[in-house]
């Protein structure tokens, strides 16, 4: 522990590693946002009462009666949103620069766990206002868990403490959000930073010349300070202009229409519109997480070089894969919505096949066709092929999320600006 606290920064760093476009300061931003979340969370906790009968009123009192209460709540809300987004960008940056292989592969797994913890922090905090938005968003999200085979409904009941959200649910979410998850997050963040140090710091491209080592103070610390100031300024602007959402008090008898999961689960909810629940809530997400955990342990033909997208062919293939993934995903959504619904067309066939196996095979076929007729022509290395698959998955997930957030209206029907 003494080593962890004393050596988060080395005395000297490779000058090439502190160029802004090497990391964009994303890791430092995540650390700063965690600190801001803890500070604002402690301040909000002074006035919050984790009981359904009082939770909503305590939030209203904080925003209307406490000095700077609304501003502090806004900072806490937007820092949570930024924390998840920037952690996701950091996750992508690490992968796209190859900093997940060899001695860094274990830290990649810890990074995945950190991303999961941050999602859970947002998720548990989402319920605390106990308004209509929070109540029904968490209801939808926990219902998704119920689709897991055999144990799904049991896990859902254990999480929420009954058949529907209740006082036990709020107390459990409050405890995890304010005590358990922050403690685990702090420990893993410290360990994560320490393992970065043990691996030699930021992975930079190999150069012919001997790398120049410069003092950390002020070369690195000054840049981190500037990034921190800019981030705080942007966060404060958002907090001053955009209030954290708060609808009327939760009413279990009246649901919202549309009823949506929190924005970071919108992609999974959108999948449920097109796939059998077993595939949308279990097989596809678990397969994606397993793939993300497996990629550092694949035997690659070369060592990571620290370059963005590995090489020029890698960059070109990733760019075209991103376009292809966006087009295929959007086309699939529109086709399923307006042209042909496999579950309806093949109603005599079990939904597990018609709305699960069949569309999944079609999707895999599109990916295989793209690999055969485009990626193979570029003679990509194994690392570049894995990168293309990664890009396809990420872009498809982003498209599903954006559609779920912005283009699903009443009764979860597709809604476009020109139809409003």
Whole-angstrom distance, CA of residue 217 vs CA of residue 13: 10
Q: How much is the pLDDT for 194? A: 87
140 by DSSP, 3-state: which? Answer: helix
Number of residues that this document lists for the chain: 420
Distance of CA 402 to CAs 53, 86, 140, 172, 219, Å? Answer: 34, 17, 18, 30, 39
Phi, psi of 131 (to 5 degrees): -105, 180
Q: How much is the pLDDT for 397? A: 96
Whole-angstrom distance, CA of residue 240 vs CA of residue 210: 48
Q: How much is the pLDDT for 259? A: 92
Contact 96, 295 (CB under 8 A): no
297-303 own/partner pairs: CB under 8 Å, 24+ apart:
297/105, 298/382, 298/386, 299/382, 300/101, 300/381, 300/382, 300/383, 300/386, 301/381, 301/382, 301/383, 302/381, 302/383, 303/101, 303/102
CATH 3.30.43.10 fits 1-256, yes or no: no
Cα Rg of the chain (Å, integer): 23
Q: How much is the pLDDT for 150? A: 81
Q: How much is the pLDDT for 303? A: 87
Q: How much is the pLDDT for 418? A: 57
pLDDT beneath 50: ranges in the chain:
208
Q: How much is the pLDDT for 147? A: 83
Statement: the pTM of the whole predicted model exceeds 0.95: no
Strands (E), 150-289: 213-215
Whole-angstrom distance, CA of residue 155 vs CA of residue 249: 27
Domain boundaries, the chain: 1-256, 260-420
């Amino acid at each position: 522990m003494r080593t962890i606290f004393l050596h988060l920064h080395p005395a000297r760093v490779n000058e090439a590693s502190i160029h802004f476009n090497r990391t964009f300061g994303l890791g430092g931003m995540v650390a700063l946002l965690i600190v801001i979340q803890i500070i604002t969370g402690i301040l909000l906790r002074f006035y919050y009462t984790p009981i359904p009968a009082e939770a909503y009123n305590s939030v209203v009192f904080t925003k209307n009666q406490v000095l700077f209460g609304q501003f502090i709540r806004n900072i806490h809300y937007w820092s949570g949103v930024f924390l998840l987004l920037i952690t996701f960008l950091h996750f992508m940056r690490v992968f796209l620069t190859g900093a997940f292989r060899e001695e860094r592969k274990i830290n990649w797994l810890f990074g995945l766990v950190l991303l999961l913890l941050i999602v859970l922090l947002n998720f548990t905090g989402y319920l605390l206002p106990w308004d209509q938005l929070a109540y029904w968003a968490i209801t939808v999200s926990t219902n998704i868990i119920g689709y897991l085979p055999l144990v799904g409904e049991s896990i859902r009941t254990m999480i929420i403490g009954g058949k529907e959200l209740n006082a036990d649910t709020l107390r459990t979410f409050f405890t995890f959000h304010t005590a358990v998850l922050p403690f685990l997050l702090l420990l893993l963040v410290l360990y994560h930073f320490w393992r970065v140090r043990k691996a030699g710091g930021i992975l930079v491209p190999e150069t012919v010349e001997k790398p120049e080592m410069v003092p950390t103070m002020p070369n690195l610390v000054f840049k981190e300070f500037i990034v921190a100031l800019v981030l705080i300024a942007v966060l404060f602007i958002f907090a001053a202009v955009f209030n954290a959402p708060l609808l009327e008090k939760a009413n279990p008898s009246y649901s919202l229409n549309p009823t949506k999961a929190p924005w970071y689960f919108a992609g999974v909810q959108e999948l449920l519109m097109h796939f059998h629940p077993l595939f949308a809530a279990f097989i596809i997400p678990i397969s994606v997480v397993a793939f993300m955990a497996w990629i550092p342990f694949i035997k690659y033909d070369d060592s990571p070089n620290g370059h963005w997208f590995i090489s020029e062919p890698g960059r070109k293939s990733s760019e075209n894969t991103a376009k292809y993934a966006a087009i295929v995903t959007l086309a699939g959504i529109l086709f399923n919505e307006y042209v042909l619904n496999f579950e309806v067309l093949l109603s005599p066939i079990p939904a597990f096949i018609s709305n699960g196996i069949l569309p999944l095979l079609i999707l895999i076929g599109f990916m295989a066709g793209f690999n055969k007729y485009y990626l193979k022509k570029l003679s990509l290395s194994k690392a570049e092929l894995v990168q293309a698959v990664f890009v396809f998955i990420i872009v498809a997930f982003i498209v599903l999320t954006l559609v779920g957030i912005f283009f699903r209206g009443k009764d979860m029907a597709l809604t476009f600006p020109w139809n409003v």
